[in-house]
Amino acid sequence: MNLADSEVVLSILSDDGYEITKNENEANVILLNTCSVRDNAEQRIHGRLGNLKRLKNGDEKVVLGVIGCMAERMRDKLLEKEDFVDVVVGPDEYRKLPEYLDTAFAGAKGIGVRLSKTETYDDIVPYREDGLSAWISVMRGCDKFCTYCVVPFTRGRERSRSLSSVVSEIRELSQKGFREITLLGQNVNSYNDNGNDFADLMRAAADVDRNIRIRFTTSHPQDLSDKLLYAIAENENICNYIHLPVQSGSDRILKLMNRTYTIGHYLNLIEKARDIIPGVSFSTDIIAGFPTETEEDHQMTLDVIEKVRYDGAFMFKYSPREGTKAYRFEDDVPEDVKSRRLTEIINLQQSISNEINQKLIGTEEVVLVEGASRKSENDLSGRSDTNKVVVFPKLAGINRGDYVKVKIRKASSATLIADVIGKVDFLENKVVETA
């Protein structure tokens, strides 16, 4: 989400005459786009700011700014703590960044932290370098108020972009040769544009160019509709991959988290999705050590991981966030217990990812070629439909942006090694299953 927002910011600033440099020593403006979801993300920003401070000692004026959720959450307090910061601008005020920068160049502090009920940056074409994969933010904010989460406070209320503007952005990306698009929102299942829901948006997105793969994130288990599952099943270019954060395996903890579903509901949903979309894979988010979490609760989380058999997971220790409801609960799971539980969760997930990948040996996958592999110039890498990194030998005639069919030869928990069968026309390769 922040990477997508940074592209919006770069677009706004380049329209205002700024040029982009990758070299911090030569920049007159340095903005850190920040995340507040856990304390360690914020600590890294404090460290980074301390580091960048030295750049303000040169002859030319350098404006240093903090944007994003940490700006929204800390506001003037950030300036008390780090008085050399010139600009503090939250996620809904990026249009005014040029003004805040002018204020800062004039020697005052530029502070913009007003949240909006309507801002979607709908008409701004993000500054995209990649040329192959793009994010499109389709809704902003979150109204779920999970008790541990700062996002509803830093990103404000839910609001959706218009379906037509998303579709025309995809059309432009198609003309520019993009091959993969991820529709983004804190809770995409709440998307609503005058009665068009997220499933309608996904169908419309998939229709623009059948050679563009469509991905999406993030879904809330309470709101993921059958209609969306059918949209995924019926469109070959919508990836069979659902990120569905479970957070905990214990109904008692889920209730304390205000997650509004039970594990029974969650597992039924997974089963239904697997019925409707054969071969669908799942990833999840898990929090270890939420207040009052017992060994039994923790065991239930391990159980749900075993039951679902996720392809992958993002796993975190609970981090109390000021202003959230859970902040008023006692953070009573000791640090060493949190760490041990997190390690158990990570180890279990890794062994499951590995087992799932081993079973893929001998099977065929369609991969979008992204470029040279990280480890060897003689190999290419790309991603499968279910978002797995696949590495295969570089062959003449196969280029970045092509779809290739490969046969998996070897696997680890993180990567698949494959042989190339041949280039495929993504369209012709499709097998459409209509439910």
SS3 state of residue 66? strand
- Cα(131)–Cα(178) distance, integer angstroms: 6
The count of C-alpha atoms lying within 13 angstroms of the C-alpha of 295, restricted to the half-sphere facing its C-beta, is 1
Beta strands 29-34; 63-68: pairing state = parallel
Q: Which of 85, 104, 149, 342 binds ligand SF4 (CB under 6 A)?
A: 149
Q: Which is nearer to ligand 5AD, 338 or 388 (CB)?
A: 338
Nearest approach, Cβ of 326 to ligand 5AD (angstroms)? 7
Centroid of chain to Cα 106: 36
Beta strands 133-137; 180-184: pairing state = parallel
Tokens of 132: 């192959």
Q: Which is nearer to ligand 5AD, 319 or 349 (CB)?
A: 319
**What residues line the site for ligand 5AD (CB under 6 A)?**
37-38, 148-149, 245, 247, 285, 287, 316, 318-319, 321
> By CB under 6 A, is residue 326 in contact with ligand SF4?
no
Bridge partners of residue 368, in order along the sequence = 383, 403
- Cα(154)–Cα(141) distance, integer angstroms: 8
> By CB under 6 A, is residue 145 in contact with ligand SF4?
yes
> By CB under 6 A, is residue 156 in contact with ligand SF4?
no
Say which residues have a Cβ less than 8 Å from residue 204's Cβ, sequence separation at least 6. Answer: 163, 166, 167, 196
From 14-22, 23-31, 142-150, 350-358, span contacting ligand SF4 (CB under 6 A) = 142-150
Helix axes 226-234, 198-208, angle to 10 degrees: 10
Q: Which is nearer to ligand 5AD, 53 or 325 (CB)?
A: 325
> By CB under 6 A, is residue 151 in contact with ligand SF4?
yes
Which residue shows structure tokens 């997190």?
A: 342
Q: Which is nearer to ligand 5AD, 63 or 151 (CB)?
A: 151
Q: Which is nearer to ligand 5AD, 252 or 325 (CB)?
A: 325
- Cα(256)–Cα(212) distance, integer angstroms: 40
> What residue 321 binds from ligand 5AD, ligand SF4, none (CB within 5 to 8 A, per partner kind)?
ligand 5AD
Site for ligand SF4 in 157-196 (CB under 6 A): 186-187
The answer to whether 163 touches 200, Cβ cutoff 8 Å, is: yes
Q: Which is nearer to ligand 5AD, 103 or 219 (CB)?
A: 219
> By CB under 6 A, is residue 313 in contact with ligand SF4?
no
Q: Which is nearer to ligand 5AD, 340 or 394 (CB)?
A: 340
- Cα(396)–Cα(387) distance, integer angstroms: 25
> What residue 316 binds from ligand SF4, ligand 5AD, none (CB within 5 to 8 A, per partner kind)?
ligand 5AD
Residues lying near ligand SF4 in the complex (CB under 6 A) are found at 142, 144-146, 149, 151-152, 186-187, 220
